[in-house]
Chain A
Amino acid sequence: MFYREAGDFKTSYGSDSQTFPIKFDRMRYYVVLVVAFGVVPFIINDYWANAVFVPFLIYAIAAIGLNILTGYCGQLSLGTGGFMAVGAYACYKLMTAFPEVSIVIHVLLAGGVTAGVGVLFGLPSLRIKGFYLAVATLAAQFFLVWLFNKVPWFYNNSASGQISAPERTVFGVEVTGANTDAWAKYMICLVFLVVLAWVARNLTRGTVGRSWMAIRDMDIAAEIIGVNPLKAKLTAFAVSSFFVGVAGALFFSVYLGAVEVGEAFGINKSFLVLFMIILGGLGSIFGSLAGAAFLVLLPVLLKNVLVGGLGWPTDLAAHLELMIVGALIIVFLIAEPHGMAQLWRIAKEKLRLWPFPH
């Protein structure tokens, strides 16, 4: 009923291979974009921006990045927090060293720096696989956090060891610093997310993405049919780290404003982003968004219900949140290893036939 494909004929290769081949899907996608760009900025306030929208948009970028590496290329990484820190500190150094250059360029350059660091830590992936690699990426996590904590050059010798974002504008609108409006924060993150999601979607269905998936499914077999594992793995690390780096830069400059590395980019951040892609769906861009939305909303919801509604102490609510997240991970892995993206696919299948399933 809703997903009617009858009569939706394609007359060119271009229209046949578009991202949303079904007309209904395409319209829905445009509606979401119109709402995101045209409605939300006008009604958003500080609470919603800081508690829900901005973290969601930034984590979504990081989750897409990790999904490229883990979901599409099959290389499990636990170093996401460390790479986000690289993006944040690169952005900070660039912002303070070249104040006249636009912040957008700084954020993109910070992504580029992170891509370089990611390739460096991705080199061992050519020799080691699976758990060994997962543990090896922890080396990146701990080493990078330590580095940014201990070398004063990275935080410009500030007494507190923190980095704080100076005020910067885009088209005359302030996007970083204390006086930023909620909608400005929201808009800059949204633009980054939409562009990067579009890039990721098209990368993953092209030549590069196919070589990643071949490596994920079986690397030796992929090598035999002519996929270059060196190129595939390192490009996956580079692209993934770029996304994560951009997310880290935005997290620091737009969202938090001031950052202490161990607190903001610790091992918990790595696990949080990993959980997002497990719950959302490995190997799916939509899944990254769904997982990020879910894990950003869950604590807000639990806090409002348990602390605000029932009046329980906050530490108890925090512990219950740990339990719920852990249990959800297990339930999802057992019931639906492909995550929310798969649930969505099943729902679409059902909707296509509804209300006459036969």
Chain B
Amino acid sequence: MPDQLLFAMEVMLNGLMAGVLYALVALGFVLIFKASGIFNYAQGVMALFAALTLVGLQEGQVPFAHLINAIFGTDIHHFGWHLPALVAIILTIGVMVVLAIIVEKFVLKHLVNQEPIILFMATIGLAYFLEGFGDVMWGSEIKMLDVGLPQGASFWVEENTAWLGGEGFYGFFIDKLDMVAAVVAALLVISLTIFSQYSKQGRALRAVADDHQAALSVGISLRFIWVLVWSIAGFVALVAGIMWGAKSGVQFSLSLIALKALPVLMLGGFTSIPGAIVGGLIIGVGEKLFEFTIGPMVGGATENWFAYVLALLFLVFRPQGLFGEKIIERV
């Protein structure tokens, strides 16, 4: 095979892997949107907050150390212990559940029956708050996240694909972490699908998604469902935070993956879990291939906007996205 084609294939494979990570974030959006009609802009910051909490717990950081030091003039930083990754993850899940309860109690409960756009803006406020809160609680310096995931290029893939090309070709370069992420994303989607199809809570969740009032009238507690769904979204945010954090360190830019997930949602439709996956893959492959082929001609860094423009053009022809429910409007 010609090398150029092989390179394009490698770019495509890497795009697929990046797409999986986008899909992971988009999944959190879809879950909340389906269950409560809220477009949760704070999902990206939740991923950042989860990752910060995980690192903080694992390293035994003192929460609010910065603030305490500023007020009392002390100099404390660490408790001096190291938690095993698994314990830290379980504790972080607990924190995310508490966060879900707090969000429900102090924000959502008071905004029932408001217009969706008001709720959307409230989540932007929540995003700002959480971002500041996470920084005050755990400090804003870049942290390394290590929960024992494999990293670096996979030699197995390289060796087994080297025969495809000629002299100068050493096989495909694929990060092990990306492969892990793909497997985790697949598991997550399967388990979420099983949960929402077969468990009692899952059915209640789908009922709420269909019609809030009808669900209330058959005795489903809306508030419990909201806490549940925000907890699940928190869990998905934690997974996304671990994957992205292990890839590029835990820092502010982690919260910007929310902005990457938005076009994925538009493409796939806000209400569809498969849509989030397919949309993520299309965007991942599309932006990498575009950067590879057209990027050098226009100065590069097209990844910033390509996904948005693609989604925008796509929406003009299909306003509800690929898998979204058809939008019916009545006066």
A322 contacts B129, CB within 8 Å?
yes
Bound together, the chains give a CA A139 to CA B283 distance in angstroms of 14
Please pick, from B39, B125, B312, the residue contacting A124 in the complex, using a CB distance under 8 A: B312
Q: Which of A36-44, A171-179, A246-254, A324-332 makes up part of the contact surface?
A: A324-332
B120 contacts A146, CB within 8 Å?
no
Bound together, the chains give a CA A172 to CA B263 distance in angstroms of 50
State whether A337 and B124 are in contact (beta carbons under 8 Å apart), knowing that A143-B305, A316-B66, A322-B129 are contacts in the complex: no
Q: Is A315's beta carbon under 8 Å from chain B?
A: yes
B270 contacts A337, CB within 8 Å?
no
A326 contacts B129, CB within 8 Å?
yes
Bound together, the chains give a CA A325 to CA B110 distance in angstroms of 19
Q: Which residue of B lies closest to A322 (CB)?
A: B132
State whether A139 and B305 are in contact (beta carbons under 8 Å apart), knowing that A130-B116, A326-B127 are contacts in the complex: yes
Q: Is B266's beta carbon under 8 Å from chain A?
A: yes
State whether A271 and B124 are in contact (beta carbons under 8 Å apart), knowing that A313-B70, A316-B66, A334-B111 are contacts in the complex: yes
Give the chain B neighbours of A345 by CB distance below 8 A. none
Give the chain B neighbours of A127 by CB distance below 8 A. 315-316, 319
State whether A330 and B305 are in contact (beta carbons under 8 Å apart), knowing that A131-B270, A135-B265, A316-B136 are contacts in the complex: no
Q: Which residue of A lies closest to B308 (CB)?
A: A139
1/0 per residue, CB under 8 A from A, across B262-275: the answer is: 11011000100000
Q: Which residue of B lies closest to A82 (CB)?
A: B305
For A136, A146, A151, A326, which residue has the most chain B Cβ atoms within 10 angstroms?
Answer: A326
Q: Is A26's beta carbon under 8 Å from chain B?
A: no
Q: Is B76's beta carbon under 8 Å from chain A?
A: no
Dominant SS among interface residues on chain A = helix
Bound together, the chains give a CA A99 to CA B270 distance in angstroms of 50
Q: Is A267's beta carbon under 8 Å from chain B?
A: yes
State whether A128 and B136 are in contact (beta carbons under 8 Å apart), knowing that A143-B305, A326-B126, A329-B124 are contacts in the complex: no
Give the chain A neighbours of B270 by CB distance below 8 A. 131
A128 contacts B316, CB within 8 Å?
yes
Q: Which of A104-112, A185-193, A218-226 makes up part of the contact surface?
A: A218-226
Q: Which residue of A lies closest to B321 (CB)?
A: A132
CB distance from B120 to the nearest CB of A (A): 6
Give the chain B neighbours of A138 by CB distance below 8 A. 259, 262, 308
Bound together, the chains give a CA A267 to CA B255 distance in angstroms of 13
Bound together, the chains give a CA A138 to CA B67 distance in angstroms of 35
B136 contacts A320, CB within 8 Å?
yes
Bound together, the chains give a CA A7 to CA B119 distance in angstroms of 44
Give the chain A neighbours of B229 by CB distance below 8 A. none
Q: Which residue of B lies closest to A70 (CB)?
A: B117
B305 contacts A221, CB within 8 Å?
no
Q: Is B114's beta carbon under 8 Å from chain A?
A: yes
Bound together, the chains give a CA A319 to CA B128 distance in angstroms of 9
Q: Is A278's beta carbon under 8 Å from chain B?
A: yes
Q: Is B299's beta carbon under 8 Å from chain A?
A: yes
B301 contacts A150, CB within 8 Å?
yes
* Residues of chain A from 189 to 225 with CB closer than 8 A to chain B in the complex: 218, 220-221, 224
B315 contacts A146, CB within 8 Å?
no
A146 contacts B129, CB within 8 Å?
no
State whether A135 and B311 are in contact (beta carbons under 8 Å apart), knowing that A218-B331, A333-B111 are contacts in the complex: yes
Task: For the complex, count residues of B whose C-beta is within 8 A of A.
Answer: 51
Q: Is B87's beta carbon under 8 Å from chain A?
A: no
1/0 per residue, CB under 8 A from A, across B65-107: the answer is: 0110010000000000000000000000000000000000011
Q: Is A261's beta carbon under 8 Å from chain B?
A: no
1/0 per residue, CB under 8 A from B, across A119-162: the answer is: 00000100111111011101100110110011100000000000
Dominant SS among interface residues on chain B = helix
Bound together, the chains give a CA A129 to CA B324 distance in angstroms of 14
* Residues of chain B from 294 to 314 with CB closer than 8 A to chain A in the complex: 298-302, 304-305, 308-309, 311-312
Bound together, the chains give a CA A238 to CA B67 distance in angstroms of 46
Bound together, the chains give a CA A220 to CA B331 distance in angstroms of 6
Give the chain A neighbours of B140 by CB distance below 8 A. 315, 319
Q: Is A274's beta carbon under 8 Å from chain B?
A: yes
Bound together, the chains give a CA A130 to CA B137 distance in angstroms of 34
Q: Is A301's beta carbon under 8 Å from chain B?
A: no
CB distance from B53 to the nearest CB of A (A): 16
* Residues of chain B from 128 to 151 with CB closer than 8 A to chain A in the complex: 128-133, 135-136, 140
B315 contacts A128, CB within 8 Å?
yes
A323 contacts B136, CB within 8 Å?
yes
Bound together, the chains give a CA A154 to CA B316 distance in angstroms of 29
Q: Is A24's beta carbon under 8 Å from chain B?
A: no
* Residues of chain A from 46 to 86 with CB closer than 8 A to chain B in the complex: 76
Q: Is B246's beta carbon under 8 Å from chain A?
A: no
State whether A131 and B39 are in contact (beta carbons under 8 Å apart), knowing that A139-B309, A316-B66, A333-B122 are contacts in the complex: yes
CB distance from A329 to the nearest CB of B (A): 3
CB distance from A10 to the nearest CB of B (A): 36
Q: Is B118's beta carbon under 8 Å from chain A?
A: yes
A135 contacts B121, CB within 8 Å?
no
Please pick, from B111, B266, B299, B319, the residue contacting A135 in the complex, using a CB distance under 8 A: B266
Q: 8 A-B Cβ contacts within 8 A?
A: A127-B319, A128-B319, A139-B311, A142-B305, A275-B124, A323-B129, A333-B122, A334-B110
Which 4 pairs show the lowest CB-CB distances between chains A and B?
A326-B129, A329-B125, A322-B132, A326-B128
- Enumerate chain A interface residues (CB-CB to B < 8 A): 76, 124, 127-132, 134-136, 138-139, 142-143, 145-146, 149-151, 218, 220-221, 224, 267, 271, 274-275, 278, 310, 312-313, 315-316, 319-330, 333-334, 337
15 extra A-B contacts, CB within 8 A, seeds A131-B116, A143-B308, A322-B129? A127-B319, A131-B270, A138-B262, A138-B308, A139-B305, A143-B309, A145-B304, A149-B301, A220-B329, A319-B140, A322-B132, A323-B128, A327-B129, A330-B126, A334-B122
